[in-house]
């Protein structure tokens, strides 16, 4: 194998491993979030997230996406996205207690510790969303 191709492969593998290891649960992971209209939040290994709700936006379910960043030491995750006008919205969540199974089936006692942007305390997740239940 070409040494440059091997180096690229190793860098890609390390980047994927580091990204995948940065949240306290295996990725991809989809959680139903309480205090929402059946909002399903999916974390992906590439550092992005998507969500879909049972609410209707026109004729389809409301959905959105953005990027996540995790801080293992602070046990937090920051959700970043832009609203329809292109304004930045950030939410930082501190994780609470977690089940000890390999998939981390439930996380409860989560709390929003920071929010920025118009409606940042309710979008993408409302401040009251303290329990997340895995369903993938």
Between 14 and 121, where is the model more confident? Answer: 121
Options 2.40.128, 3.90.550, 3.40.50, 3.10.100; CATH for 3-134 is: 2.40.128
Is residue 108 exposed (0-12), middle (13-18) or buried (19+ Cβ within 10 Å)?
Answer: middle
Number of residues assigned to the chain: 136
Domain ranges in the chain are 3-134
Query: What secondary structure letter does DSSP report for 73?
Result: T
> Can you give the pTM of this predicted structure?
0.76
Structure tokens at 78: 């920051």
> What value does the mean pLDDT of the chain take?
82
Distance separating alpha carbons of residues 105 and 85, to the nearest angstrom: 35
pLDDT in tens, 90-126: 999 999 999 989 889 999 999 999 999 988 888 888 8
């Amino acid at each position: 194998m070409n040494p440059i191709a091997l180096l690229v492969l190793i860098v890609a593998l390390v980047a994927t491993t580091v990204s995948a290891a940065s949240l306290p649960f295996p990725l991809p992971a989809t959680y139903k979030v309480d205090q929402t209209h059946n909002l399903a939040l999916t974390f992906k290994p590439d550092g992005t997230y998507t969500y879909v709700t049972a609410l209707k936006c026109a004729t389809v379910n409301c959905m959105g996406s953005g990027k996540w960043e995790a801080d293992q030491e602070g046990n937090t995750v920051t959700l970043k996205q832009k609203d329809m006008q292109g304004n930045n919205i950030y939410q930082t969540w501190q994780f609470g207690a977690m089940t000890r199974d390999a998939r981390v089936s439930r996380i409860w006692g989560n709390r929003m510790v920071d929010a920025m942007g118009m409606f940042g305390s309710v979008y993408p997740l409302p401040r009251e969303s303290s329990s997340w239940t895995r369903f993938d």
